[in-house]
Amino acid sequence: MQKQIDLLYPVHNSEFYELIDCGGFEKLERFGEFITIRPEPQAVWDKVLSEAEWKKKAHVKFVGTSSNSGRWEKYRAMPDNWQATYRNGDLRLTFNLALTGFKHVGVFPEQSANWDFIYSRLNEMKGETPAFLNLFAYTGGASLAAKAAGADVTHVDSIKQVVSWSRRNMESSNLDNIRWVVEDAVKFVKREKKRGKQYQGIILDPPAFGHGPNGESWKLEKQINELLKDVLDILDPKQGFMILNTYSLGFSALIVENMVLAMTAARKNNWKPQFGELYMPATSGIRLPLGVYCRM
């Protein structure tokens, strides 16, 4: 039976983040009180607002000098480091943001849709403290949401500096006792599987390509199928939930649907997968696609 492919977007982000406009391979965004212009390869259409309006609103623009790096051109005064706090009901997460040399500022705000889901789902669980695993965890938004819900959280990323950044976000959010692991995600999951470890919640947000701390190679389309099988082996079959995000140009929701449905059919569990695209609505009216997701 074919599942419906849905569109998902975050709704509680106005103080924390605003996508003002996007187009011309760029996006105009507000993080807290500061407005940035950054590259966006999927924004192939024309901008709604004029170039003059973009420049008038923005504090800073990222100008690429190579495929992986660049510099920030400041239009108005702003710090290189600042904070922005996400709030939704009882959930309150504070992120330390920065103008980095690789266009990112330290958070993917569209993932707040998943933070809310994680927080709500873990709070619904009864009994012992749930175990939560965040793979390819970046600066830890999902880890913070899970810890705020009272889970035992393991945060795995291959870059030591990013894990240190996540720790600062934990401290700024008045949270503690997250388990930090600097390791290749594929190796970590295989080891947990061998140990018979189970998690009640798992999120994985793999990049299109990358490297582990010891030079391990990662390419999404080559390795995601095997990794996902191992992830399902360590997911609690009774009350566990899993979130998969993929942000890669040309990676269809149908690819994820085919892969997941084949795995769940073979396992004969009662998991109910939901598939779709994650997007961010702009104030200007444009909808920016930001990856494919599966929730189960």
The larger pLDDT score, comparing residue 221 to residue 170, is at 170
* For residue 1, pLDDT beyond 50: no
Task: Please check whether residue 23 lies inside any domain of the structure.
Answer: no
User: CB 150: neighbour CB atoms within 10 A?
Assistant: 14
What's the domain range around 145? Answer: 80-295
Classify residue 254: in a domain, yes or no.
yes
Backbone dihedral region for residue 291 (phi beyond 0: left; psi -120 to 50: alpha; all else: beta): left
Mean pLDDT of 28-50: 96
Instruction: Please state at what angle helix 141-148 crosses helix 160-172, rounded to 10 degrees.
Output: 40
CATH number of residue 257's parent domain = 3.40.50.150
The mean pLDDT value for 24-33 works out to 97
Q: What is the pTM of this model?
A: 0.93
- Cα dihedral 190, 209, 108, 83 sign: positive
Domain presence at residue 144: yes
Q: Does some domain include residue 3?
A: no
Specify the number of domains making up the chain.
1
Average pLDDT over residues 231-254: 87
- Read off the amino acid at residue 95: F
Residue 249 has pLDDT above 80, yes or no: no
Q: Which residue has the tokens 């701390």?
A: 213
CA dihedral of residues 156, 131, 96, 294 (deg, nearest 10): 80
- Residue 33 resides in a domain: no
In sequence order, the 6+-apart residues with CB closer than 8 A to the CB of 275 are 3, 4, 5, 6, 253, 256, 257, 260, 292, 293, 294
Average pLDDT over residues 212-229: 80
Top-confidence residue, 262 or 98: 98
| pLDDT confidence of residue 192 | 97
Copy the structure tokens of residue 276.
């779709």
End-to-end CA distance of the chain: 16
Q: How far is it, in rounded angstroms, from Cα 274 to Cα 117? A: 13
**Is residue 48 situated within a structural domain?**
no
Residue 40: inside a domain: no
Q: Considering the chain, what percentage of its residues have pLDDT values greater than 70?
A: 95
Residue 12 placed within a domain: no
